[in-house]
Structures are given as structure tokens and as C-alpha cells.
Chain A
Amino acid sequence: MRRFLRLLARPETGALVAALVIFVFFLLVAPSFRSLAAFCTVLYQSSTIGIVAVGVGLLMIGGEFDLSAGVITISAGLVNSMFCWYLGVNLWAGALLSLAFCLAVGFLNGWLVMRTGIPSFLITLGTFFVLQGANLGVTKLVTGSVSSRDISAIDGFASLRKVFAWSFPLGDATVWITVLWWALFVVVAAWTLQRARIGNWIYAVGGSASSARAVGVPVVRTKIGLFMTVSFLGWFVGMHLLYRFNTLQAGNGVGNEFLYIIAAVVGGTLLTGGFGNAFGVAIGAFIFGTTSLGIVYAGWDPNWFKAFLGVMLLLAVLVNTYVKRLSSSPAAFASVADPPAPALAASGKESRRD
């Protein structure tokens, strides 16, 4: 029983069960879902959400939100695209400039949140609008229309495409490099959370910033770092979009910030901070990919997709709340006090909050 409770208390357990159920469900109802090609498409769709969701998950564990994470993907691509198109310079220069820009936005988000004490929800809502407006305004000024120009003829395109938007065939399926990058980012994030000192800091600042500060955790640096991680990953996805599609629509990206948050929440991250892990967030993104495409593979009317997504979100939150209550019951605490087994790392950390 204890062992079971312990397992249940891990943030990703509910999501993993849900992911398996949903995946098997679509395998049963949708014949065209049962192929490697379909699986790779689902993985690709999950990766474009999942990469940024890794950062958003970490940030939420650290107790903050970032609503600008969706539009910054487009800002990142636009900065790179227009700078190079207008000045005719190598795309690598633009990519680096864009990286600097995104990190600066992340820094500004974090710095403002820490400096003013205004909730990150409001600060990043502000950034969201500023970026959205600037995306449109600047693009129109530079290119004379609201989509960026085709940059595929500019030097550096081929090599950047290899890095951000390469794909290779696997049988009749296509594997996109974003899937590999996604896996890498998840592993790095998971390792950081479980094994690195910064991981402890992230749980601590999300659990209780004042207690964390009292025991000497650099709260400001940790949180600013988390915001910058989100915008770094946003930059990464922006690069993928730019180098896969060559042009970007300046108004795009809006709404995706919620998908990242949904992936994190479905994956067991608590909205209040201090609880969650990277594998859970990855599973959350995978659930999103499976559902959004599973409905299409099944041949159902995709108009219903959002309704389905909403039900799933509610279920995930219910399961998480239930699990949370179980895991903080005396029985679970007793289990945490057991000699630490590797599998215990997550729940062990979790008990260290406050």
C-alpha cells in the first residue's frame, strides 16, 4: 500500500496513466493511427508544444507564469528573418541577435516580477501584448506587409535548417529533429530538477519563496533564470518555425501559451508551484499531440477537439488534487521517511517544500 501511495504521489503518474489510456483508445478506434508514420507525426506535433512546455513547466514549479511564451516564438523568428532580409546579412547573425533579444525579454520578465512584486501573470500579460503589437507593427514597417519575406535564398539558411528543422525518413515515416531536441531538453530539465542544486532551488522558490530566501537560496537569480529558460526555448521553437516554413505570419503564436501551461498542468505540475517534474510535462505535451491528431486520424469532427481538451484538463486537475491530498496524508509521509530509493527522488524533494 505504501509503495502504491508512493508511486501515486509522483507528479507524472496520473498523466502517464491518462496518456496510455488515450493512446490505446485511439489505437483501437482509428486504424490509420496504427502506423509508425502516424506515431512520428504525433511526436512532432507534441515536440513543438513540448519544447517550450519544458521551460514553462520549470517556471511553474518555480511558482511563476509566462503568458508571453506563445508570441515570443513568432517574435524570435521575425527578428531573425527581418533583420537578415532587410540588411542582407547571414542568417546566423540574425539567429544570434534573436537569441539575445529573447533572453533579454526573459530577463526583463523575471526582473520586473522580482523587482515590483506584481504577479507574473500580469507582467507577462503585458509582455504578451507588447510583443504581439510589435510583431505586427515592426513587420509591417520593415517588409511592407504583415508576413515576413521568404528568406530561403539568404546565406546560412541550409545550415540553420539542419539544426532546427532537419528531418529524416524512417520507413514511410518522417522523424523531425525537434523530437530529438525535445527529448534532450526533457532529460536535461529532469536531471537538473532531480540531481542539481539548482533543482532544489527551483522547488524551494516555488514552494515558498520567503522560506527559500531564509535558507540562503538565491530566489531572484533562480526565478529570472527560469524566465530566461522559457524564452530560450521559445526562441528555439521560433527558429524551427522559421526554418521549416521560411515565412512567418506576424499575428501567429497567440493562444499557444495556454497549450504550454495545459501540458504542464496535465503533466502534474501544480499551478501554485513547488510540485511537478519534467517527464510529467513531456507526457502532458504528448497527451496534447495524441488527442489533437488522434481525433483527426479517427475521422471525427475536429470541431469537438477543444471540448475534449477541456474535459481532459479538468480530469487532470482533479486527479492531481486527489493525488496531492493522498500524498500529503500520514501514510505517504511515512513512506517518504523510508531510506531513499532512486524512484523516491521526486517525492522526497516534494516533501522538502516549505
Chain B
Amino acid sequence: MRPFLAAAAVTVLALAACSSGGKDDTKTDSDSGGGNAAGSSGYTVAFVTHETPGDAFWDKVRAGAEQAAKDTGVSLKYSNDPDATKQAQLIQSAVDAKVNGIATTLVTPDALAGAVKSATTAGIPVVGLNAGIDQYQQLGALMYFGSDESLAGTSLGKRIAGQGVKHPLCVIHQTGSVSLEARCAGVKSAVPGTENIQVNGADDSAVTTTLQAKLAQDKSIDYIVALNAQVALDAINAKQQASSQAKLATFDLNTDIAKKIKDGSVEFAIDQQPYVQGYMSVTSLYLYLKNGNDIGGGKPVLTGPSFVDSANIEKILPFTEKNTR
């Protein structure tokens, strides 16, 4: 046993000798300098989302919020729960903690209405972001930052309809999500032949095989619309396997997708700029508290849809590597 262990250790050490392709040591990811120290403005903002832990999209929202907190000197309390009643509870506990402002996603307006109301009754300004564009005002939220999902879907649909696409496949990776359904409905409104498919977004091999099966079953599919970046990467695999000629567009952006746009395997991405959603929600609360500002003038402020394609990818690619786009 002992000689074997020793041999194994030697092997590991030998293999551990430096090799290329890993983290680049010379690159320093320094945050933008300057600005106030955290908490120096004296305001505390609670930031409540319905993030499912581990989603790259929400990671960007949060990064934006944290940067804004740093820039404005706001102390940020981030919390999240995908379950609607628990999210309402998180808002309620922010109210109880007497924070100065609350930024929250309004993905399930009915479930959150009570908690948002108790915030406004307590005189705490509430800003909506990401979801709830149609309901934020009646809930009593002051401002809204986000993308209009069905508008985003429609814009995507119009763009591919212009290329003569007849039968796109819209891939829903989360069962029963209102905003994903709204995107697909938007695509369908521009291209009536749109078909939806449901995949298990938590398992890349399942996403790949399901799409592969679908592409083999229906050769008339000429376009795939992925609703997040990882699904788009899986779709590239599935297309190769099924030798499908369908083109591919996706919602959301990350470094890998940016590279795929550059090499042409993804036609374009619709970016709703999650970083901006987080950044603006915190900044707007800061300005409201400090200066009484009302950004958007009573109307929602749209953070998307912003098209990322071969025309502007060179400019945007570096930002995706810094996790800000």
C-alpha cells in the first residue's frame, strides 16, 4: 500500500507542474477605484430577489448592486429566495429592520403585494426590478428597472422573421416561469410558427439530448431560441449531434456566449443588462433618499433588450469577462 501511495503522490506532483490555459496570473481584477467607503452615506438598502442560487444571471444583478452600493456609499443587504412566500417574508424582515430603502423583484406580484404595502406604509421607498413591469405601480413601488419580457421576445421574433424564419423552437428551461413563457409568447407574436419545448435546465446532458431528439424529430425547425446562456451552449452541442442547420439566438450573455457570437455559432444575444438592473435599483434609491429624484418620471426604465451580435461583440466581449455584461 505504501509504495503505491508514494507513487501516486509523485505522479500528482509531476502532473502538478505548471501548464498553460488556466487562470491568467498577470490579470488583476481590481474593482473600479475611488468613490466612498461602504456605508459612508449612512443609508441601508435591502435588495431582495427571487434568485435561484447559482444562476449566472443573478450573479450579475448582484454584482451591479454591490458596485452601486460601493459607489454611493450605501450599505447593502442582499437576500434571495425563489419561493414567493419566502421572498415576501424577506421583504417583511427588511421592513422590520427599518432599512432606508428596498429594491425587490416583483416576479409574483400577488404574493408580494402585502409585504410591499407594509414597506410603503412604513414610509420605506420601494423600487422594483427585473420582473413586474405591469404591476409595480399599483403595488406602490416608485420606480422600475428591467426589461419588458414580451417586448424582448417580440424584438427577437421580428429580427428572425426578417430572415425568413418559419419554425423557431423556443426552449423553456424552468417549468412554469411566467417571464420565460412571456419571452416565447413574444417570439410567437412575431413568428406564428414558433413552438415551445420544456427542458430540465439543471442537467446539461438532459438539455442536450432533449434538443437533439427534438431536432431529429422535426427537421423543419430552422431556428433555436435559447432563454439563457448555458442552454444556448447545450443547443450548440445538440445541433452538432443532430446535424441540424438551424440557427441559434439566445437571451442573456456570458463570456462563452460572447465567444460563440464572435465565432458565429450563435447569431446574436438579447441582453437585458442585469448588471444595470442591480446598479440602477440601488443608485435610484440613493438619489431618491438624498435628492428626491424620480428616475423614469413615473414610467418604467428599460434596461433592454440590447442586441449583441457580430457588429458590437468586439466592444462587449471584454466586459463579459469582468462579469459586468
A97 to B16, CA, bound (A): 11
Interface: B287 (CB within 8 A): no
Select from chain B the residue with minimum beta-carbon distance to A301.
Answer: B198
Tell whether B292 is near chain A: CB-to-CB under 8 Å. Answer: no
Nearest Cβ distance between residue B165 and chain A, in whole angstroms?
19
A176: shortest Cβ distance to chain B, in Å? 9
CB-nearest residue of chain A to B323: A145
**What residues on B are CB-neighbors of A299 within 8 Å?**
217-218
- Among B130-138, B205-213, B305-313, the stretch in contact with A: B205-213
With contacts A253-B202, A255-B200 taken as known, whether A41 is within 8 angstroms of B212 at the C-beta atoms is: yes
* Proximity string of chain A (299-311) to chain B, C-beta cutoff 8 Å, 1 when within and 0 when not: 1011101100000
Q: Are B12 and A154 in contact (CB under 8 A)?
A: no
Residues of B within 8 A of A89 (CB): 15-19, 22
- Residues A41 and B213 in contact in the complex (CB < 8 Å), given A245-B204, A256-B202, A296-B197: yes
A225 interface residue (CB < 8 Å to B): no
Interface segment among A2-10, A80-88, A104-112: the answer is: A80-88
Partner of B205, one of A136, A152, A244: A244
Complex-state Cα separation, A250 to B54, whole angstroms: 6
Tell me the smallest distance from the CB of A38 to a CB of chain B, in Å. Answer: 6
Residue from B52, B205, B234 in contact with A45 in the complex, judged by beta carbons closer than 8 Å: B205
Answer yes or no: B256 CB below 8 A from chain A CBs. yes
Is there contact, CB below 8 Å, between B234 and A245?
A: yes
Asked if B210 and A251 make an inter-chain contact with CB atoms under 8 angstroms apart, the answer reads no
- Pair A255/B202 contact, Cβ less than 8 Å: yes
CA distance A297 to B20 in the complex (A): 43
Q: How far is the CA of A89 from the CA of B16 in the complex (A)?
A: 5
Contact with A along B1-34 (1 / 0, CB 8 A): 0000000100110011111111101000100000
Q: State which residues 198-235 of B face A: CB under 8 Å.
A: 198-200, 202-206, 209-210, 212-214, 216-218, 230, 233-234
Question: Which residues of chain B are within 8 angstroms of A306 by Cβ–Cβ distance?
Answer: 175
What are the residues of chain A within 8 A of B20 when measuring CB–CB? 88, 153-155
A245 and B237 form a contact (CB under 8 A) = yes
Q: Are A251 and B205 in contact (CB under 8 A)?
A: no
- Asked if B277 is at the interface of the complex by the 8 Å CB criterion, the answer is no
Highest count of chain B CB atoms <10 Å: which of A86, A248, A292 = A292
Q: How far is the CB of B133 from chain A (nearest CB, A)?
A: 25
> Per-residue 0/1 for B251-285: is the Cβ within 8 Å of any A Cβ (1 yes, 0 no)?
00011100000000000000000000000000000
Contact of B162 with A by CB under 8 A: no
Contact of A88 among B23, B204, B210 (CB under 8 A): B23
Give every chain B residue within 8 A of A90 (Cβ-Cβ): 15-17, 19
Residues of B contacting A250 in the complex (Cβ-Cβ under 8 angstroms) = 54
In the complex, the answer to whether B15 meets A253 with C-beta atoms within 8 Å is no
Q: Which residues of A contact B212 (CB under 8 A)?
A: 41
* Interface residues in B, total, Cβ within 8 A: 48
Q: From residue A78, how far is it (CB to closest CB) to chain B in Å?
A: 11
Q: Which residues of A sit under 8 angstroms from B203, Cβ to Cβ?
A: 48, 252-253, 255-256
Say whether, besides A86-B22, A245-B204, A303-B198, A93 and B234 are in contact (CB < 8 Å): no
Best-surrounded residue of B11, B19, B256 (most CB of chain A within 10 A): B19
Identify which of B21, B197, B199, B255 contacts A153 (C-beta below 8 A): B21
Task: Check A145–B234 contact: CB distance below 8 A.
Answer: no
Report the bound CA distance from A140 to B55 in whole Å: 11
Interface size class of A (residues with CB under 8 A): 35 or more
B230–A147 CB distance below 8 A: yes
Shortest CB distance B243–A (Å): 8
Residue of A nearest to B12 (CB): A93
Shortest Cβ distance from B19 into chain A, in angstroms?
4
> Which residues of the partner chain A approach B199 to less than 8 Å between Cβ atoms?
302
Say yes or no: is B151 at the interface (Cβ < 8 Å to chain A): no
A240 to chain B, nearest CB (A): 8
Residue B71, interface by CB 8 Å: no
- Tell me which residues from 124 to 170 in chain A have a Cβ below 8 Å from any Cβ of chain B: 132-133, 135-136, 140, 144-147, 149-157
CB pair B22 A88 closer than 8 Å: yes
Q: Does residue A351 face the partner (Cβ distance < 8 Å to B)?
A: no
Residues of B within 8 A of A244 (CB): 204-205, 237
- Bound complex: CA A86 to CA B18 (Å): 11
| Cβ-based interface call for A44 (8 A) | yes
Residues of A within 8 A of B230 (CB): 147, 249
Query: Is A241's CB within 8 Å of the partner chain B?
Result: yes
A147 touches B254 (CB 8 A): yes
Q: Output the least CB separation between A62 and chain B (Å).
A: 26
Assess whether B209 is in contact with A45, with CB atoms less than 8 Å apart. Answer: yes
In the assembled complex, A208 has its CB within 8 A of some CB on chain B: no
In the assembled complex, A247 has its CB within 8 A of some CB on chain B: yes
B19 & A145 in contact (Cβ 8 Å cutoff): no
For A88, give the chain B residue with the smallest CB separation.
Answer: B22
Smallest Cβ distance from A311 to chain B, in angstroms?
18
Q: A37 an interface residue at 8 Å Cβ cutoff?
A: yes
Q: Which chain B residue has the least Cβ–Cβ distance from A157? A: B21
User: Does A192 lie at the interface of the complex (its beta carbon under 8 Å from any beta carbon of B)?
Assistant: no
B56 within 8 A of A: yes
Supposing A251-B202, A305-B198 touch, asked if A146 and B217 sit within 8 A by C-beta, the answer is: no
- Is residue B59 contacting chain A, with contact meaning CB distance below 8 A? yes
18 other contacts beyond A48-B203, A151-B21, with CB at 8 A cut-off?
A41-B216, A45-B209, A93-B15, A96-B8, A136-B54, A146-B54, A146-B56, A151-B22, A153-B21, A244-B237, A248-B204, A249-B55, A253-B203, A297-B213, A299-B217, A302-B198, A302-B199, A302-B210
Identify 22 residue pairs between A and B in the complex whose beta-carbon atoms are under 8 Å apart, listed by A's number.
A41-B213, A44-B209, A84-B22, A88-B19, A88-B25, A89-B17, A90-B16, A90-B19, A144-B29, A145-B56, A151-B22, A241-B204, A244-B237, A245-B204, A252-B202, A253-B203, A296-B214, A296-B217, A297-B213, A297-B216, A297-B217, A305-B198
